[in-house]
């Protein structure tokens, strides 16, 4: 999140505002001259008003920063994906509520824990090589792994990772964790469909029940109907019916 640029107070402008404000005040308000020269009294009263205006400006800045921080917390904690920061030794330093929910552990129980233990054994070696690659690069890199949650259940995760440099300390890796289980299942179903239907002798069409739109078709359907695969996917079942009712 970009930092809010701190507004610099121009002392000349501030003094002019203080002078105008002082001119509107009654002559006997504020400090008593007590026999002091008028110039000194005037300077002290202007300085007093300057300090009051600076204090008001600081209060406004503080309120704006609090509002900005609240928005940041909402965006970070309740984002639709998990956000996590791990050290160069792959130890969890920070994680948002969504990320903790994906792993099935309370957030306080994840800090200083090793992220590697949540990756299934068959993916751990691949993760190790990938993590080293991320630490050596400045580019964002992505890997898909299977995660074992605290309760023993699994989900397919996509990890978008990037190394972040820090002053005088080791770099960290920022990770966005997305649950892609449904996407993986859809990909597997598509593979099965292609395996069993691509070379089938019969026409195979997958039709959406609500409107009859064709959502998948095999090669035989393209040959018989005379439309390319892409053209078929833009049609409905009713487009394929003969105009002659016989």
Over residues 98-150, the pLDDT tens digits come to 999 999 999 889 999 999 999 999 999 999 999 999 999 999 999 999 999 99
Q: Where do runs of H (alpha helix) occur along 78-120?
A: 97-103
DSSP states of 165-195: EETTEEEEEEEEEEE-HHHHHHHHHHHHHHH
The residue among 179, 200, 217 that closes a domain is 179
Residue pair 172/198 in contact by the 8 Å Cβ criterion: no
The residue among 30, 59, 77 that closes a domain is 77
246 falls in which pLDDT band (50, 70, 90)? very low
Q: pLDDT value at position 118?
A: 95
Domain interval for residue 72: 11-77
Closest CA relative to residue 153, chosen from 130, 179, 131, 177:
179
The residue among 159, 179, 199 that closes a domain is 179
Average pLDDT of span 226-241: 87
Of the listed ranges 45-49, 83-87, 219-223, the least confidently predicted one is 45-49
Euclidean distance between CA atoms 150 and 145, whole angstroms? 16
For residue 4, is it within any domain? no
Q: 36 is written with which tokens?
A: 């002091």
Of the listed ranges 9-18, 103-112, 184-193, the least confidently predicted one is 9-18
8 falls in which pLDDT band (50, 70, 90)? low
Judgement on whether residues 175 and 119 belong to the same structural domain of the protein: yes
Q: pLDDT value at position 1?
A: 44
Highest mean pLDDT among 57-61, 70-74, 158-162: 158-162
For residue 207, is it within any domain? yes
For residue 2, is it within any domain? no
13 falls in which pLDDT band (50, 70, 90)? low
Q: Which residue has the higher pLDDT, 38 or 2?
A: 38
Residue pair 233/240 in contact by the 8 Å Cβ criterion: no
30 falls in which pLDDT band (50, 70, 90)? very low
Query: How many domains does the chain divide into?
Result: 3
Task: State the CATH number of the domain containing residue 111.
Answer: 3.30.450.20
For residue 245, is it within any domain? no
Judgement on whether residues 90 and 47 belong to the same structural domain of the protein: no
* DSSP code of residue 2: P
For residue 110, is it within any domain? yes
62-88: per-residue pLDDT in tens?
Answer: 777 776 666 667 677 878 899 999 999
For residue 59, is it within any domain? yes
Judgement on whether residues 86 and 153 belong to the same structural domain of the protein: yes
For residue 5, is it within any domain? no
């Amino acid at each position: 999140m970009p930092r809010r640029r701190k507004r610099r107070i121009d002392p000349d402008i501030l003094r002019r505002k203080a002078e105008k404000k002082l001119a509107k005040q009654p002559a006997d308000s504020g400090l008593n001259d007590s026999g002091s020269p008028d110039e000194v009294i005037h300077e002290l009263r202007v300085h007093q008003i300057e300090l009051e205006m600076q204090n008001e400006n600081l209060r406004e800045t503080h309120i704006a920063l609090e509002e900005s921080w609240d928005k940041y917390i909402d965006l970070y904690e309740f984002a639709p994906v998990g956000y996590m920061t791990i050290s160069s030794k792959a130890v969890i330093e920070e994680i948002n509520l969504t990320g903790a929910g994906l792993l099935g552990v309370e957030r306080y129980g994840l800090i200083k824990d090793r992220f590697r233990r949540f990756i299934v054994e068959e993916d751990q070696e691949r993760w190790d090589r990938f993590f080293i690659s991320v630490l050596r690069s400045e580019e964002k890199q992505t890997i898909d792994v299977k995660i074992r949650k605290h309760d023993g259940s699994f989900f397919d995760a996509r990890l978008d990772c990037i190394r972040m440099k820090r002053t005088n300390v080791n770099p960290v890796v920022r990770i966005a964790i997305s649950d892609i289980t449904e996407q993986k299942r859809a990909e597997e179903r598509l593979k099965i469909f292609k395996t069993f239907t691509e070379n089938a002798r019969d026409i195979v069409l997958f039709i959406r029940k609500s409107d009859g739109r064709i959502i998948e078709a095999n090669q035989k359907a393209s040959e018989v109907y005379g439309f390319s695969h892409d053209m078929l996917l833009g049609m409905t079942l009713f487009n394929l019916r003969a105009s002659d009712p016989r």
